Structure 1
Amino acid sequence: MLKNQRVVVSDGAMATELEKMGVQTDNELWSAMALITNPDAIRAVHEGYFMAGATIATTNTYQANLPALADFDVDQEAGLQLIHDAVKLADQARAGDDRLLIAGSVGPYGAYLADGSEYTGDYHLSKADYQAFHLPRIQALVAAGVDCLALETMPNFAEVQALLALLQRDFPTVRVWVSFSVGDTPANLCDGTPLREAAQYCDAQENVLAVGVNCTKMENILPAINEIHGVTDKAIIVYPNNGDRYDPTTKTWEKVTDAPQFSELVPQWLAAGARIIGGCCRTTPDDIATIKASVDQYLAG
């Protein structure tokens, strides 16, 4: 992924753009509902991010796990087909350009619970149960031809350990990035695990291509990079929210008018060691275009 590029720009939010197209995401499937109701809109979102300068499209499968789909009367065969379709929609958006990449999104078990625990990490399964929950989606993503997997917004270190063990066992040649969810203190994962410890663990995994954080406020990114930089030779990936505040209890966003701007912060993240930069919740193609311009200016300077 980084072989011929010093820095890679990833995409931004899926749900935000779908909502602009009138797609309902206010449900427990979140943006994955569009796989059922409006797949053309998903392809259009991917196209918009590629046009804005992203090199990576992240599949709309963060919440598309089989138990969540089953709650909406989607059986296993149909659910696996929807995951396969999500990859094909991203592939159609890149229109044969092999410089563009597809990352298969794998959200945490806490996202399936839909109770805010993806922001706390306060859930506990056995290693085998974590693996059983995630395996069908991972199998479908790999079979559909993703370029890598993205373990995203991961708040629970035990879950990540179980997933990396699963990948090493069953998919040893598949590359993956791990992006953690950090709390108000960016030095720790949401479950309290030191970010430095988690990053160091990922550094020892041969199939991990990048490690970082996502779905956090922009002010947390530089401290998080500084925690990671000293303990890994992997690429550092960061993709924060746009600055608005999320209330996991009411599942609503509060607009923040004085939030910092990507144009101000991206050069700092690059100087600190970030190699893959994108956006998470509430970010738009305009934000990705800003990131791309900031990266280009930094590299040219």
Structure 2
Amino acid sequence: MPQSAASPVILLDGGTGRELMRIGAPFQQPEWSALALIEAPEYVSRVHQSYVDAGADVITTNTYAVVPFHIGEERFAARGAEWAALAGSLAREVADAAPRKVAVAGSLPPVCGSYRPDLVDIARARPILAVLVAALTPYVDHWQAETLSSLSEAELVGELVAPTGKPLWLSFTLDDGHPGAEPRLRSGESVTDAARLAQRLGARAILFNCSQPEVMADAVRAARAASDLRIGVYANAFPPQDPDAEANAQLCDIRADLDPAGYAAFARAWRDAGATILGGCCGIGPEHIAALRALAA
């Protein structure tokens, strides 16, 4: 799917965890967004519907926290596949009921802790991701591996989803502590190498998520120079985190400048740099996605 200046913009949804909390769903650590799936899945459907109503072309399965890191080893072993399948079915039902075409992205998270390339353990991650892939395959239109902080995670995902025959989108989280520097993943590996790997793995798109809006445009330009893949961005709305921080370890304050209009201004710059997939991550809600709708026209 080569991209060009004429490529239409695909609009993603926004963050799920904070939106669940905002509407009153069961929400606490360590389960994070998985708690609503476990205890009150109707709230998950409500969040999906809110993003469809805002104009999203893609909604993402609520499987980011359906891993032992969040729900524990015993619960994952006993019911992880069941809950992942439930997440897939909830998204599928909302997408199929939409008055226009809405795709379902199967979220495949970093298994060993977000933002922590030093904790990546491919041998441990393999069987966990395999459970998610098997459970989600009947429901999703494409795979969206999210918040990848290293190239090795992307390679593993590429291997595991290849037999499904469904398109793969790879989304990396960036070192966002040094705006203006050469864009790199949190592992220190370059965006250029990430884009080349994505192309080699046969991915349809490379994206950047859960990082500061300020670092995204440079990453888009680097990816565009290194590949002909579609490029996407869905940034977060909280301040930069310490290098040893874990995403979702705590609720961070939301930046005051990233209201819907402020976020849309960043998104316009990403589009101008070459991004043709736009959405939001942590702290970005339906009102932000509605503000991006004009960019996708």
Aligned equivalents of 2:67 and 2:76: distance in 1?
Answer: 11
Over 3 Å counting, the alpha-carbon distance change for 1:149 and 1:276 in structure 2 is same
Task: Give the CA deviation at 1:74.
Answer: 2.7
> Could you say which residue in structure 2 is the equivalent of 1:299?
none
Match of 2:158 in 1: 164
The equivalent residue for 1:291 is 292
**Aligned-partner SS, 1:85:** helix
Q: CA deviation at 1:5?
A: 6.5
Q: Evaluate the alpha carbon distance shift between residue 259 and residue 125 of structure 1 in structure 2; reply closer, same or farther with a 3 A threshold.
A: same
Deviation at 1:255, TM superposition (A): 3.3
Deviations 1:125-146 (A, max 9, x none): 24x443223111111111x320
Counterpart Cα distance in 1 of 2:161 and 2:47: 29
Partner of 1:64: 66
Whole-angstrom distance in 2 between the partners of 1:22 and 1:246: 26
Quote the residue 1:277 is aligned against: 278
Q: Measure, in 2, the Cα distance between the counterparts of 1:232 and 1:270.
A: 16
| Pairing 1:28–2:30 present | yes
Counterpart position of 2:20: 18
Equivalent positions of 1:37-76 (< 5 A) are 37-65=39-67, 68-71=70-73, 73-74=74-75, 76=77
CA offset at residue 119 of structure 1?
1.4
> Which range moved further: 54-63 or 242-251?
242-251
| Mapped contact 1:122–1:156 kept (Cα < 8 A) | no
Q: Does 1:174 align with 2:166?
A: yes
The answer to whether 1:219 aligns with 2:214 is yes
Deviates more, 1:18-27 or 1:131-140: 18-27
Letter in 1 for 2:191: L
Q: What's the offset of the Cα at 1:244?
A: 4.5
- Write the deviation string for residues 75-106 of structure 1: whole angstroms up to 9, x where unpaired: 64532111111111112222434610000101
Partner in structure 1 of residue 148 of structure 2: 154
Find the counterpart in structure 2 of residue 255 from structure 1: 254
Partner Cα separation in structure 2 for residue 259 and residue 9 of structure 1 = 18
2:201 is aligned with 1:205: yes
Percent of residue pairs bearing the same amino acid type = 27
- Change over 3 Å in CA distance of 1:55–1:197 after alignment to 2: same
TM-score with structure 1 length normalisation?
0.86
Q: CA-atom RMSD, angstroms? A: 2.4
**Kept in 2: contact 1:61–1:106 (CA 8 A):** yes
Contact 2:69–2:112 (CA under 8 A) maintained in structure 1: no
Deviation at 1:29, TM superposition (A): 2.1
Distance 1:105 1:20, change over 3 A: same
Q: Which runs of 5+ in 2 are unaligned?
A: none
Mark the CA change 1:79 to 1:268 in structure 2 (over 3 Å): closer, same or farther: same
**Distance in 1 separating the partners of 2:23 and 2:284:** 15
CA contact (8 A) 1:245 1:254 kept: no
Structure 1 SS opposite 2:205: strand
Letter in 2 for 1:180: F
What does the per-residue CA deviation read over 1:130-183, in whole Å, with 9 as the maximum and x for residues that have no partner? 3223111111111x3200111000002112112212333x33x11110000111
Letter matched to residue 204 of structure 1: R
Give the TM-score normalised by structure 2.
0.87
Counterparts of 1:2 and 1:65 in 2: how far apart (Å)?
A: 33
After superposition, where does 1:228-247 map in structure 2 within 5 Å? 228-245=223-240
The alignment partner of 2:171 has SS state of strand
Q: How many residues align?
A: 284
Moved over 3 A (4+): 1-5, 66-71, 95-98, 243-250
Residue 102 of structure 2 is matched in structure 1 by 100
SS, match of residue 122 in structure 1: helix
| Cα offset, 1:124, TM superposition | 3.8
Q: 1:5 to 1:140 in 2, by over 3 A?
A: farther
